[in-house]
Protein backbone atom coordinates (compact mmCIF):
# COMPACT_ATOMS: atom_id res chain seq x y z
CA UNK A 1 0.00 0.00 0.00
CA UNK A 2 1.43 3.41 -0.96
CA UNK A 3 1.74 6.23 1.55
CA UNK A 4 -1.08 8.09 -0.22
CA UNK A 5 -3.30 5.01 -0.02
CA UNK A 6 -2.53 4.54 3.64
CA UNK A 7 -3.40 8.17 4.32
CA UNK A 8 -6.61 7.99 2.34
CA UNK A 9 -7.49 4.82 4.23
CA UNK A 10 -7.17 6.79 7.46
CA UNK A 11 -4.24 4.74 8.71
CA UNK A 12 -1.95 6.44 11.18
CA UNK A 13 1.32 5.92 9.34
CA UNK A 14 3.29 7.65 12.08
CA UNK A 15 2.64 4.97 14.62
CA UNK A 16 1.92 1.90 12.51
CA UNK A 17 -1.50 1.26 14.01
CA UNK A 18 -4.97 1.98 12.76
CA UNK A 19 -6.17 5.52 13.38
CA UNK A 20 -9.30 4.24 15.13
CA UNK A 21 -7.20 2.11 17.53
CA UNK A 22 -4.96 5.04 18.44
CA UNK A 23 -7.83 7.53 18.94
CA UNK A 24 -9.48 4.98 21.21
CA UNK A 25 -6.27 4.70 23.25
CA UNK A 26 -6.00 8.50 23.43
CA UNK A 27 -9.61 8.80 24.57
CA UNK A 28 -9.10 6.14 27.27
CA UNK A 29 -5.92 7.80 28.54
CA UNK A 30 -7.68 11.17 28.78
CA UNK A 31 -10.51 9.47 30.67
CA UNK A 32 -8.08 7.81 33.09
CA UNK A 33 -6.25 11.10 33.74
CA UNK A 34 -9.52 12.85 34.57
CA UNK A 35 -10.69 9.91 36.71
CA UNK A 36 -7.53 10.36 38.81
CA UNK A 37 -8.25 14.09 39.30
CA UNK A 38 -11.79 13.20 40.41
CA UNK A 39 -10.52 10.28 42.54
CA UNK A 40 -13.23 8.04 41.05
CA UNK A 41 -13.77 4.61 42.56
CA UNK A 42 -13.48 1.45 40.45
CA UNK A 43 -17.29 1.12 40.64
CA UNK A 44 -17.80 4.61 39.29
CA UNK A 45 -15.31 4.03 36.48
CA UNK A 46 -16.91 0.70 35.58
CA UNK A 47 -20.34 2.32 35.36
CA UNK A 48 -19.46 5.08 32.91
CA UNK A 49 -16.46 3.99 30.86
CA UNK A 50 -17.70 1.10 28.72
CA UNK A 51 -20.41 1.31 26.01
CA UNK A 52 -23.79 0.02 27.14
CA UNK A 53 -24.72 -1.46 23.81
CA UNK A 54 -22.91 -2.11 20.51
CA UNK A 55 -25.01 -3.50 17.66
CA UNK A 56 -23.56 -4.85 14.41
CA UNK A 57 -25.90 -5.27 11.45
CA UNK A 58 -25.43 -6.72 7.99
CA UNK A 59 -27.50 -4.79 5.50
CA UNK A 60 -28.39 -6.41 2.17
CA UNK A 61 -29.02 -3.68 -0.39
CA UNK A 62 -30.05 -4.04 -4.02
CA UNK A 63 -27.62 -2.03 -6.14
CA UNK A 64 -28.47 -0.29 -9.41
CA UNK A 65 -26.94 -3.12 -11.46
CA UNK A 66 -29.31 -5.66 -9.84
CA UNK A 67 -26.71 -7.29 -7.56
CA UNK A 68 -27.19 -7.44 -3.80
CA UNK A 69 -24.39 -5.99 -1.70
CA UNK A 70 -24.26 -6.67 2.05
CA UNK A 71 -22.95 -3.62 3.97
CA UNK A 72 -21.75 -3.83 7.57
CA UNK A 73 -23.21 -1.21 9.90
CA UNK A 74 -22.97 -0.28 13.59
CA UNK A 75 -24.88 1.60 16.24
CA UNK A 76 -23.33 2.11 19.65
CA UNK A 77 -25.10 3.53 22.69
CA UNK A 78 -22.29 4.49 25.03
CA UNK A 79 -24.25 5.95 27.94
CA UNK A 80 -27.86 6.94 28.65
CA UNK A 81 -27.64 8.15 32.25
CA UNK A 82 -28.42 11.76 31.30
CA UNK A 83 -30.90 11.11 28.49
CA UNK A 84 -31.47 9.29 25.20
CA UNK A 85 -28.42 8.48 23.10
CA UNK A 86 -27.31 11.22 20.72
CA UNK A 87 -24.79 10.98 17.92
CA UNK A 88 -24.25 11.04 14.19
CA UNK A 89 -24.11 8.32 11.57
CA UNK A 90 -20.92 8.11 9.52
CA UNK A 91 -20.90 6.64 5.99
CA UNK A 92 -17.25 6.02 5.14
CA UNK A 93 -15.09 3.13 3.85
CA UNK A 94 -12.89 3.18 6.99
CA UNK A 95 -15.68 2.99 9.57
CA UNK A 96 -15.06 0.30 12.20
CA UNK A 97 -16.71 -0.75 15.45
CA UNK A 98 -13.68 0.61 17.38
CA UNK A 99 -14.06 4.00 15.76
CA UNK A 100 -17.82 4.16 16.35
CA UNK A 101 -17.34 3.17 20.00
CA UNK A 102 -14.77 5.96 20.48
CA UNK A 103 -17.01 8.53 18.80
CA UNK A 104 -19.95 7.40 20.99
CA UNK A 105 -17.72 7.68 24.10
CA UNK A 106 -16.86 11.28 23.17
CA UNK A 107 -20.56 12.08 22.59
CA UNK A 108 -21.41 11.06 26.17
CA UNK A 109 -18.94 13.51 27.67
CA UNK A 110 -19.49 16.19 25.03
CA UNK A 111 -23.24 16.31 25.80
CA UNK A 112 -22.44 16.43 29.51
CA UNK A 113 -19.86 19.25 29.09
CA UNK A 114 -22.42 21.47 27.38
CA UNK A 115 -25.07 20.39 29.88
CA UNK A 116 -27.68 19.02 27.50
CA UNK A 117 -29.91 16.16 28.71
CA UNK A 118 -28.65 13.52 26.32
CA UNK A 119 -26.39 10.51 26.42
CA UNK A 120 -23.75 9.43 23.93
CA UNK A 121 -24.20 7.33 20.82
CA UNK A 122 -22.83 6.98 17.31
CA UNK A 123 -23.42 4.93 14.19
CA UNK A 124 -21.66 4.06 11.00
CA UNK A 125 -21.77 2.01 7.83
CA UNK A 126 -18.76 0.78 5.88
CA UNK A 127 -19.48 2.21 2.45
CA UNK A 128 -18.26 4.84 0.02
CA UNK A 129 -21.14 7.29 -0.47
CA UNK A 130 -19.19 9.13 -3.19
CA UNK A 131 -19.40 6.01 -5.34
CA UNK A 132 -23.08 5.22 -4.71
CA UNK A 133 -26.15 6.54 -6.50
CA UNK A 134 -28.87 8.39 -4.59
CA UNK A 135 -31.13 5.36 -4.89
CA UNK A 136 -28.49 3.01 -3.47
CA UNK A 137 -27.84 5.43 -0.59
CA UNK A 138 -31.55 5.71 0.14
CA UNK A 139 -31.97 1.91 0.10
CA UNK A 140 -28.97 1.53 2.43
CA UNK A 141 -30.25 4.19 4.84
CA UNK A 142 -33.76 2.76 5.01
CA UNK A 143 -32.40 -0.76 5.57
CA UNK A 144 -30.11 0.56 8.35
CA UNK A 145 -33.09 2.11 10.14
CA UNK A 146 -35.27 -0.98 9.62
CA UNK A 147 -32.57 -3.28 11.08
CA UNK A 148 -31.92 -0.99 14.05
CA UNK A 149 -35.56 0.02 14.59
CA UNK A 150 -35.76 -1.33 18.16
CA UNK A 151 -32.70 0.58 19.35
CA UNK A 152 -33.62 3.95 17.82
CA UNK A 153 -36.34 6.41 18.84
CA UNK A 154 -36.94 9.90 20.28
CA UNK A 155 -36.62 8.57 23.84
CA UNK A 156 -34.02 5.91 23.06
CA UNK A 157 -31.33 7.03 20.63
CA UNK A 158 -31.47 9.96 18.20
CA UNK A 159 -29.13 9.93 15.18
CA UNK A 160 -27.74 12.98 13.36
CA UNK A 161 -25.42 13.63 10.38
CA UNK A 162 -21.68 12.96 10.47
CA UNK A 163 -18.99 12.51 7.81
CA UNK A 164 -20.67 11.17 4.63
CA UNK A 165 -24.27 11.80 5.69
CA UNK A 166 -26.40 14.93 5.39
CA UNK A 167 -29.88 16.42 5.73
CA UNK A 168 -31.13 14.26 2.85
CA UNK A 169 -30.09 11.06 4.65
CA UNK A 170 -31.71 12.36 7.86
CA UNK A 171 -34.97 12.85 5.91
CA UNK A 172 -34.93 9.17 4.84
CA UNK A 173 -34.31 8.15 8.46
CA UNK A 174 -37.24 10.27 9.68
CA UNK A 175 -39.52 8.89 6.97
CA UNK A 176 -38.58 5.22 7.50
CA UNK A 177 -39.03 5.45 11.26
CA UNK A 178 -42.33 7.37 10.92
CA UNK A 179 -43.68 4.76 8.47
CA UNK A 180 -42.72 1.93 10.86
CA UNK A 181 -44.49 3.48 13.86
CA UNK A 182 -47.38 4.84 11.73
CA UNK A 183 -46.82 8.23 13.32
CA UNK A 184 -45.16 11.45 12.16
CA UNK A 185 -41.97 11.43 14.28
CA UNK A 186 -39.56 14.26 13.42
CA UNK A 187 -37.83 14.02 16.81
CA UNK A 188 -36.30 10.63 15.93
CA UNK A 189 -33.43 12.36 14.15
CA UNK A 190 -31.75 15.79 13.98
CA UNK A 191 -29.91 17.65 11.23
CA UNK A 192 -33.01 17.50 9.02
CA UNK A 193 -33.77 20.02 6.29
CA UNK A 194 -35.68 23.11 7.48
CA UNK A 195 -38.57 21.96 5.23
CA UNK A 196 -38.69 18.75 7.29
CA UNK A 197 -38.78 20.37 10.74
CA UNK A 198 -35.03 20.85 11.02
CA UNK A 199 -33.67 23.76 13.04
CA UNK A 200 -32.57 27.13 11.74
CA UNK A 201 -28.83 27.50 12.32
CA UNK A 202 -28.00 23.76 12.49
CA UNK A 203 -25.81 23.83 9.38
CA UNK A 204 -23.35 26.37 10.78
CA UNK A 205 -23.74 25.41 14.43
CA UNK A 206 -20.44 23.59 14.95
CA UNK A 207 -18.42 26.43 13.40
CA UNK A 208 -20.47 28.98 15.35
CA UNK A 209 -19.85 27.13 18.62
CA UNK A 210 -16.13 27.16 17.81
CA UNK A 211 -16.31 30.91 17.15
CA UNK A 212 -17.92 31.49 20.57
CA UNK A 213 -15.13 29.45 22.21
CA UNK A 214 -12.41 31.45 20.44
CA UNK A 215 -14.13 34.70 21.43
CA UNK A 216 -14.26 33.56 25.05
CA UNK A 217 -10.56 32.60 24.96
CA UNK A 218 -9.72 36.04 23.55
CA UNK A 219 -11.74 37.78 26.25
CA UNK A 220 -14.46 38.96 23.87
CA UNK A 221 -16.15 41.45 23.92
CA UNK A 222 -13.42 43.27 25.88
CA UNK A 223 -10.95 42.20 23.24
CA UNK A 224 -12.19 41.85 19.66
CA UNK A 225 -10.90 39.10 17.41
CA UNK A 226 -9.98 41.77 14.89
CA UNK A 227 -6.57 41.08 13.35
CA UNK A 228 -6.02 37.60 14.82
CA UNK A 229 -4.48 35.31 12.21
CA UNK A 230 -5.91 31.83 11.65
CA UNK A 231 -5.14 28.62 9.74
CA UNK A 232 -7.91 26.06 9.11
CA UNK A 233 -7.31 22.43 8.16
CA UNK A 234 -10.40 20.96 6.42
CA UNK A 235 -12.94 22.92 4.42
CA UNK A 236 -16.10 20.85 4.87
CA UNK A 237 -18.99 21.75 7.17
CA UNK A 238 -16.91 22.55 10.25
CA UNK A 239 -13.86 24.07 8.54
CA UNK A 240 -15.71 26.31 6.10
CA UNK A 241 -18.18 27.63 8.68
CA UNK A 242 -15.39 28.23 11.20
CA UNK A 243 -13.31 30.09 8.60
CA UNK A 244 -16.28 32.14 7.45
CA UNK A 245 -17.47 33.14 10.91
CA UNK A 246 -13.98 33.89 12.26
CA UNK A 247 -13.32 35.98 9.17
CA UNK A 248 -16.62 37.88 9.64
CA UNK A 249 -15.47 38.57 13.21
CA UNK A 250 -12.32 40.28 11.94
CA UNK A 251 -9.80 37.41 11.87
CA UNK A 252 -7.47 37.04 8.91
CA UNK A 253 -7.55 33.51 7.49
CA UNK A 254 -3.97 32.95 6.36
CA UNK A 255 -4.26 29.28 5.37
CA UNK A 256 -6.93 26.78 4.34
CA UNK A 257 -6.73 23.14 3.36
CA UNK A 258 -8.83 20.24 2.22
CA UNK A 259 -8.18 16.80 0.75
CA UNK A 260 -6.70 18.47 -2.39
CA UNK A 261 -3.96 20.38 -0.54
CA UNK A 262 -3.20 23.48 1.54
CA UNK A 263 -3.47 27.05 0.30
CA UNK A 264 -1.88 30.05 2.00
CA UNK A 265 -2.50 33.74 1.57
CA UNK A 266 0.00 35.81 -0.40
CA UNK A 267 -1.09 38.98 1.38
CA UNK A 268 -3.41 39.90 4.23
CA UNK A 269 -5.74 36.91 4.21
CA UNK A 270 -7.88 34.60 2.09
CA UNK A 271 -11.28 35.75 0.83
CA UNK A 272 -13.46 33.05 2.41
CA UNK A 273 -16.49 33.88 0.28
CA UNK A 274 -14.38 33.27 -2.84
CA UNK A 275 -12.98 30.03 -1.40
CA UNK A 276 -16.49 28.79 -0.59
CA UNK A 277 -17.75 29.63 -4.05
CA UNK A 278 -14.73 27.90 -5.59
CA UNK A 279 -15.17 24.77 -3.45
CA UNK A 280 -18.88 24.63 -4.25
CA UNK A 281 -18.27 24.92 -7.98
CA UNK A 282 -15.30 22.51 -8.17
CA UNK A 283 -16.32 20.18 -5.30
CA UNK A 284 -12.97 20.92 -3.56
CA UNK A 285 -10.28 23.62 -3.39
CA UNK A 286 -8.24 21.81 -6.06
CA UNK A 287 -6.72 24.50 -8.32
CA UNK A 288 -7.63 27.36 -5.95
CA UNK A 289 -4.00 28.59 -6.14
CA UNK A 290 -4.76 29.79 -9.67
CA UNK A 291 -7.16 32.39 -8.21
CA UNK A 292 -4.12 34.65 -7.69
CA UNK A 293 -4.54 35.44 -4.02
CA UNK A 294 -2.99 32.19 -2.70
CA UNK A 295 -0.12 29.76 -3.15
CA UNK A 296 -0.27 26.01 -2.63
CA UNK A 297 1.95 24.43 0.00
CA UNK A 298 4.18 21.56 -1.10
CA UNK A 299 3.33 19.55 2.01
CA UNK A 300 -0.34 20.05 3.03
CA UNK A 301 0.29 19.16 6.67
CA UNK A 302 2.54 22.22 6.96
CA UNK A 303 -0.67 24.19 7.40
CA UNK A 304 -0.56 22.94 11.00
CA UNK A 305 2.83 24.61 11.48
CA UNK A 306 1.91 28.05 10.17
CA UNK A 307 2.87 31.18 12.05
CA UNK A 308 -0.66 32.17 13.14
CA UNK A 309 -2.48 33.01 16.37
CA UNK A 310 -5.17 30.33 16.03
CA UNK A 311 -5.00 26.88 14.46
CA UNK A 312 -8.30 25.13 13.67
CA UNK A 313 -7.90 21.44 12.80
CA UNK A 314 -11.29 20.60 11.27
CA UNK A 315 -10.69 17.53 9.12
CA UNK A 316 -9.59 14.22 10.59
CA UNK A 317 -8.33 12.42 13.67
CA UNK A 318 -4.60 12.19 14.56
CA UNK A 319 -3.35 15.25 12.67
CA UNK A 320 -1.25 16.80 15.44
CA UNK A 321 1.08 14.04 16.61
CA UNK A 322 4.31 13.75 18.60
CA UNK A 323 6.08 14.36 15.26
CA UNK A 324 4.68 17.81 14.47
CA UNK A 325 3.43 19.11 17.85
CA UNK A 326 6.84 20.67 18.47
CA UNK A 327 6.44 22.70 15.28
CA UNK A 328 2.99 24.14 15.99
CA UNK A 329 3.39 27.91 16.28
CA UNK A 330 -0.19 28.95 17.04
CA UNK A 331 -1.03 30.27 20.53
CA UNK A 332 -4.39 28.51 20.42
CA UNK A 333 -5.55 25.21 18.92
CA UNK A 334 -9.34 25.22 18.57
CA UNK A 335 -10.34 21.62 17.79
CA UNK A 336 -13.14 21.54 15.21
CA UNK A 337 -12.56 17.87 14.37
CA UNK A 338 -12.97 14.99 16.79
CA UNK A 339 -9.64 13.68 18.05
CA UNK A 340 -7.29 15.74 15.84
CA UNK A 341 -4.56 15.75 18.52
CA UNK A 342 -2.97 12.55 19.82
CA UNK A 343 -2.45 12.04 23.54
CA UNK A 344 1.33 12.53 23.31
CA UNK A 345 0.96 15.62 21.13
CA UNK A 346 -1.51 17.08 23.62
CA UNK A 347 1.11 16.83 26.37
CA UNK A 348 3.74 18.41 24.14
CA UNK A 349 1.45 21.34 23.31
CA UNK A 350 0.70 21.84 27.01
CA UNK A 351 4.43 21.82 27.85
CA UNK A 352 4.96 24.47 25.20
CA UNK A 353 2.26 26.70 26.72
CA UNK A 354 -0.13 26.35 23.76
CA UNK A 355 -3.79 26.40 24.81
CA UNK A 356 -6.02 23.70 23.33
CA UNK A 357 -9.80 24.13 23.39
CA UNK A 358 -10.60 20.42 23.27
CA UNK A 359 -12.97 18.80 20.80
CA UNK A 360 -15.56 17.77 23.40
CA UNK A 361 -16.07 21.47 24.16
CA UNK A 362 -14.97 23.27 21.01
CA UNK A 363 -17.05 21.34 18.45
CA UNK A 364 -20.08 20.82 20.72
CA UNK A 365 -22.08 23.56 18.96
CA UNK A 366 -23.45 20.99 16.51
CA UNK A 367 -24.91 18.67 19.11
CA UNK A 368 -26.17 21.65 21.11
CA UNK A 369 -28.28 22.86 18.19
CA UNK A 370 -29.33 19.25 17.54
CA UNK A 371 -30.72 19.32 21.06
CA UNK A 372 -32.50 22.60 20.28
CA UNK A 373 -33.93 20.91 17.17
CA UNK A 374 -35.31 18.09 19.32
CA UNK A 375 -36.86 20.63 21.69
CA UNK A 376 -38.54 22.42 18.77
CA UNK A 377 -39.76 19.09 17.31
CA UNK A 378 -41.33 18.16 20.62
CA UNK A 379 -43.04 21.53 20.94
CA UNK A 380 -44.01 21.63 17.28
CA UNK A 381 -43.01 25.30 17.33
CA UNK A 382 -40.03 26.71 15.44
CA UNK A 383 -37.60 29.49 16.30
CA UNK A 384 -35.80 31.81 13.93
CA UNK A 385 -32.02 31.63 13.55
CA UNK A 386 -31.43 34.58 15.84
CA UNK A 387 -33.17 32.77 18.71
CA UNK A 388 -31.27 29.53 18.05
CA UNK A 389 -27.91 31.34 17.92
CA UNK A 390 -28.76 33.18 21.15
CA UNK A 391 -29.36 29.88 22.98
CA UNK A 392 -26.27 28.32 21.41
CA UNK A 393 -24.11 31.21 22.62
CA UNK A 394 -25.50 30.83 26.15
CA UNK A 395 -24.78 27.08 26.12
CA UNK A 396 -21.24 27.46 24.74
CA UNK A 397 -20.26 30.36 26.99
CA UNK A 398 -21.51 28.58 30.09
CA UNK A 399 -19.66 25.40 29.13
CA UNK A 400 -16.45 27.29 28.28
CA UNK A 401 -16.49 29.16 31.60
CA UNK A 402 -17.12 25.97 33.59
CA UNK A 403 -14.24 24.19 31.86
CA UNK A 404 -11.91 27.17 32.23
CA UNK A 405 -12.76 27.55 35.94
CA UNK A 406 -12.21 23.81 36.47
CA UNK A 407 -8.82 24.07 34.73
CA UNK A 408 -7.89 26.92 37.06
CA UNK A 409 -9.15 25.13 40.16
CA UNK A 410 -7.17 21.93 39.57
CA UNK A 411 -4.29 23.59 37.67
CA UNK A 412 -4.86 21.33 34.67
CA UNK A 413 -5.29 21.80 30.92
CA UNK A 414 -8.63 22.71 29.32
CA UNK A 415 -8.71 19.18 27.85
CA UNK A 416 -8.36 17.48 31.22
CA UNK A 417 -10.83 19.95 32.71
CA UNK A 418 -13.43 19.22 30.02
CA UNK A 419 -13.16 15.50 30.78
CA UNK A 420 -13.39 16.23 34.51
CA UNK A 421 -16.59 18.26 34.02
CA UNK A 422 -18.15 15.73 31.62
CA UNK A 423 -17.26 12.62 33.62
CA UNK A 424 -18.35 14.17 36.92
CA UNK A 425 -21.78 15.00 35.50
CA UNK A 426 -22.29 11.53 34.02
CA UNK A 427 -21.16 9.85 37.26
CA UNK A 428 -23.50 12.06 39.32
CA UNK A 429 -26.50 11.31 37.08
CA UNK A 430 -25.68 7.57 37.19
CA UNK A 431 -25.56 7.65 40.98
CA UNK A 432 -28.87 9.50 41.25
CA UNK A 433 -30.44 6.87 39.03
CA UNK A 434 -28.87 3.94 40.89
CA UNK A 435 -28.53 0.48 39.42
CA UNK A 436 -31.64 -1.30 38.12
CA UNK A 437 -31.36 -4.92 39.08
P1 LIG B 1 -16.85 17.09 6.00
O2 LIG B 1 -16.85 15.76 5.35
O3 LIG B 1 -17.90 18.09 5.69
O4 LIG B 1 -15.42 17.84 5.73
C5 LIG B 1 -14.19 17.24 5.93
C6 LIG B 1 -13.13 18.13 5.26
O7 LIG B 1 -11.84 17.61 5.55
C8 LIG B 1 -13.24 18.19 3.75
O9 LIG B 1 -12.98 19.49 3.31
C10 LIG B 1 -12.12 17.26 3.28
O11 LIG B 1 -11.64 17.60 1.98
C12 LIG B 1 -11.09 17.56 4.34
N13 LIG B 1 -10.04 16.55 4.42
C14 LIG B 1 -10.13 15.22 4.34
N15 LIG B 1 -8.92 14.68 4.44
C16 LIG B 1 -8.05 15.70 4.62
C17 LIG B 1 -6.64 15.78 4.78
N18 LIG B 1 -5.88 14.70 4.77
N19 LIG B 1 -6.09 17.02 4.96
C20 LIG B 1 -6.85 18.13 4.94
N21 LIG B 1 -8.17 18.11 4.78
C22 LIG B 1 -8.76 16.90 4.62
O23 LIG B 1 -16.81 16.77 7.56
P24 LIG B 1 -17.22 17.74 8.77
O25 LIG B 1 -18.64 17.51 9.10
O26 LIG B 1 -16.73 19.10 8.51
O27 LIG B 1 -16.38 17.04 9.94
C28 LIG B 1 -15.00 17.29 10.11
C29 LIG B 1 -14.61 16.82 11.50
O30 LIG B 1 -15.40 17.51 12.47
C31 LIG B 1 -14.83 15.33 11.78
O32 LIG B 1 -13.84 14.92 12.71
C33 LIG B 1 -16.20 15.30 12.45
O34 LIG B 1 -16.40 14.15 13.24
C35 LIG B 1 -16.08 16.57 13.30
N36 LIG B 1 -17.35 17.13 13.74
C37 LIG B 1 -18.30 17.50 12.84
C38 LIG B 1 -19.47 18.09 13.31
C39 LIG B 1 -20.53 18.58 12.36
O40 LIG B 1 -21.50 19.19 12.84
N41 LIG B 1 -20.39 18.40 11.06
C42 LIG B 1 -19.69 18.26 14.69
C43 LIG B 1 -18.68 17.87 15.58
C44 LIG B 1 -17.50 17.32 15.09
Q: How confident is the model at residue 223 (pLDDT cuts 50, 70, 90)?
A: low
Q: Is 316 a pocket residue for ligand 1 (Cβ < 6 Å)? A: yes
- Distance from Cα 162 to the centre of ligand 1, integer Å: 9
What total number of domains does the chain contain?
2
For the CA of 191, the closest atom of ligand 1 is 40
Residue 159 is predicted with a pLDDT of 98
Q: How far apart are the first and last CA of the chain?
A: 50
User: What is the DSSP track for 345-375?
Assistant: HHHHHHHTT-EEE-HHHHTTHHHHHHHHHHH
Q: How confident is the model at residue 2 (pLDDT cuts 50, 70, 90)?
A: very low
Closest CA to ligand 1's atom 34: 338
Provide mean pLDDT across the span 4-32.
61
Last residue within a domain, chosen from 362, 390, 411: 362
Are both 101 and 246 inside the same structural domain? Answer: no
HSE of 302, CA atoms in CB hemisphere, 13 A:
11
- What are the helix (H) ranges across 236-271? 237-248
On whether residue 7 sits in a domain, the answer given is no
Q: Is 206 a pocket residue for ligand 1 (Cβ < 6 Å)? A: yes
Per-residue pLDDT tens for 96-129?
999 999 999 999 999 999 999 999 999 999 999 9
Q: Is 321 a pocket residue for ligand 1 (Cβ < 6 Å)? A: no
Closest CA to ligand 1's atom 20: 258
Q: What angle separates helix 385-410 from helix 97-113, to the nearest 10 degrees?
A: 90
CA-wise closest residue to 369 among 388, 383, 393: 388
Per-residue pLDDT tens for 374-393?
999 999 999 999 999 999 99
Per-residue pLDDT tens for 19-29?
666 788 889 99
Tell me: pLDDT of 397 over 50.
Answer: yes
- Distance from Cα 314 to the centre of ligand 1, integer Å: 5
Per-residue pLDDT tens for 36-91?
999 999 999 999 999 999 999 999 999 999 999 999 999 999 999 999 999 999 99
Residue 23 is predicted with a pLDDT of 81
Alpha-carbon torsion (280, 122, 167, 138), positive or negative? positive
Residue 222 is predicted with a pLDDT of 61
Q: Is 336 a pocket residue for ligand 1 (Cβ < 6 Å)? A: yes
* CB 152 within 8 Å of CB 187: no
- Distance from Cα 436 to the centre of ligand 1, integer Å: 39
CA distances from 405 to 308, 401, 416 (A): 26, 6, 12
Are both 211 and 358 inside the same structural domain? Answer: yes
Tell me: pLDDT of 185 over 70.
Answer: yes
User: What is the DSSP track for 378-432?
Assistant: HHT----HHHHHHHHHHHHHHHHHHHHHHHHHHT--HHHHHHHHHHHHHHHHHHH
Residue 43 is predicted with a pLDDT of 94
HSE of 306, CA atoms in CB hemisphere, 13 A:
27
Tell me: pLDDT of 261 over 50.
Answer: yes
According to DSSP, residue 303 is labeled G
On whether residue 328 sits in a domain, the answer given is yes
Last residue within a domain, chosen from 155, 187, 219: 187
Residue 376 is predicted with a pLDDT of 98
Are both 176 and 231 inside the same structural domain? Answer: no
| Lowest mean pLDDT across 11-25, 157-171, 235-249, 264-278 | 11-25
Share of the chain above pLDDT 70, in %: 95
Are both 239 and 179 inside the same structural domain? Answer: no
Are both 354 and 272 inside the same structural domain? Answer: yes
- Distance from Cα 315 to the centre of ligand 1, integer Å: 4
CATH code for the domain of 147: 3.40.50.10860
Give me the domain span that covers residue 212.
205-362
- Of 163, 264, 359, best ligand 1 pocket probe by most atoms within 8 Å of the beta carbon: 163
CA distances from 96 to 1, 61, 80, 92 (A): 19, 19, 22, 9
- 152-174 burial, b at 16+ Cβ within 10 Å, e below that, comes to bbbeebbbbbbbbbbbebbbbbb
Are both 77 and 142 inside the same structural domain? Answer: yes
Tell me: pLDDT of 407 over 80.
Answer: yes
pTM listed for this prediction: 0.94
Are both 225 and 356 inside the same structural domain? Answer: yes
Tell me: pLDDT of 16 over 80.
Answer: no
CATH code for the domain of 269: 3.40.50.720
- Distance from Cα 235 to the centre of ligand 1, integer Å: 7
- The alpha carbon of residue 286 and the mean position of all alpha carbons in its chain are separated, in whole angstroms, by 24
Per-residue pLDDT tens for 321-354?
999 999 999 999 999 999 999 999 999 999 999 9
Amino acid sequence: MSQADRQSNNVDITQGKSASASVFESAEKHFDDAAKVLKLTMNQIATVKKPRRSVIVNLPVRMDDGTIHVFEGFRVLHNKARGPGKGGIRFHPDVSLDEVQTLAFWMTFKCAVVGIPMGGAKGGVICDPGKMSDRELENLTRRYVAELFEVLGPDVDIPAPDVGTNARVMGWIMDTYSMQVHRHTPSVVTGKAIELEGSAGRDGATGRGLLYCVRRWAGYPAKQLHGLTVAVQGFGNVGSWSARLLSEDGCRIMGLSDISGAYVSKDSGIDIGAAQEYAKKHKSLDGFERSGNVTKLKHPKEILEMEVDVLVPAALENQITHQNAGKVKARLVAEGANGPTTYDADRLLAERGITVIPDILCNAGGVSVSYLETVQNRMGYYWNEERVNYDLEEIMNRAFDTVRDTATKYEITMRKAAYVVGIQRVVTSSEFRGLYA
